[in-house]
Amino acid sequence: MNLMNVLLMASQGGTPGSGGSSAVSTIVMMVLIVVVFYFFFIRPQTKKNKELKKFREGLKKGDKVITAGGVHGKILEVNETTVIMETEGQGRLKVEKMSVSSIISSGE
């Protein structure tokens, strides 16, 4: 908050008593803060969420995946909200699609 006060004081010429440009500079400062938050926080996060949703909708039988908990397996069946995957040792797990975090590349 102190940094904002210093910037506002500098834009007013250093006199706290002048009130004409104070309201305008405060509004401009708030708009700039909102723009910065949008471009550096909100927009990248929504883009990442869209890509992750598209990735999870594209899961298919035979994909080798890793869950968020670190479980490696091969997808046997894909349902609307869950997948059944086979782990090493022929164990089968039913997990939520939301927990699938990545696909293992075919080279590994």
pLDDT digits (tens, 9 = 90+) for 47-89: 999 999 999 999 999 999 999 999 999 999 999 999 999 999 8
Q: DSSP 3-state assignment of 7?
A: helix
| Phi, psi dihedral angles at 100 (to 5 degrees) | -75, 120
- Can you give the pTM of this predicted structure? 0.62
Over residues 33-47, mean pLDDT: 94
Confidence of residue 13 (pLDDT cuts 50, 70, 90): low
Beta strands in the chain (DSSP E): 64-67, 72-78, 82-86, 92-96, 100-103
In residues, how long is the chain?
108
